[in-house]
Amino acid sequence: MLLLNKGDMAAFDLIYHTYCRRLHAFALKFLKHDQDAEEIVQEVFIKIWEYREKINAYTSFESYLFTISYNTTMSLLRKRLSESKSREYLKLTQPIYAAEHVVDELYYKQLNDRVTSLLEELTPRQREIFLLSREEGLSHKDIGQRLNISEKTVNNHMVSILKFLRKNMGASMAVILLFVYLFLS
């Protein structure tokens, strides 16, 4: 142990060969997979090497070694359990999310179809003003300049357009429509 504390590789190799099979069997009891047990043995000996200078040469090294092995094994089991729970959660929620997404797309398509048909009922000037405002994001002032009409006229058209949409779609649908046109288009 004193040689290991000083970084002697031959001492480390001797300790490894003395304990590796026992540690493997110990980890295998908990993990039930050979590859996982081998991984534990490697991690334990990496820790032994990294902390070799701090190991007390006069205490029970075997107890220290198996405590590290036990803690490393339990950490791996907790990690696997957490991963398993995460996978289960994703399996359960993915179909729900996918179904919600399909419903959202269908709802959006219905909404979009309804808005398109309502826009067809507007006068050509109203439709043009609405599209410049909502699709191109122009201000009332910019629309007025582009169409050679006053900003007040643009504002009046927008008020009557929104009133028409609210009346024909319901207030909540009009809010959704404005959200869609402002943020999603």
| Cα dihedral sign, 152-157-163-165 | negative
State the CATH number of the domain containing residue 178: 1.10.10.10
In which domain, by residue range, is 156 found?
89-184
Mean pLDDT of the 54-70 span: 82
Distance, CA of 52 to CA of 131 (rounded, Å): 73
pLDDT over threshold 80, residue 28 = yes
Domain end residue (candidates: 35, 56, 86): 86
Mean pLDDT of the 113-132 span: 86
Residue 56, pLDDT score: 79
Q: Which tens digits make up the pLDDT trace of 72-115?
A: 888 888 887 777 766 665 566 555 545 455 555 666 677 777 77
State the CATH number of the domain containing residue 22: 1.10.1740.10
Q: How many residues does the chain have?
A: 185
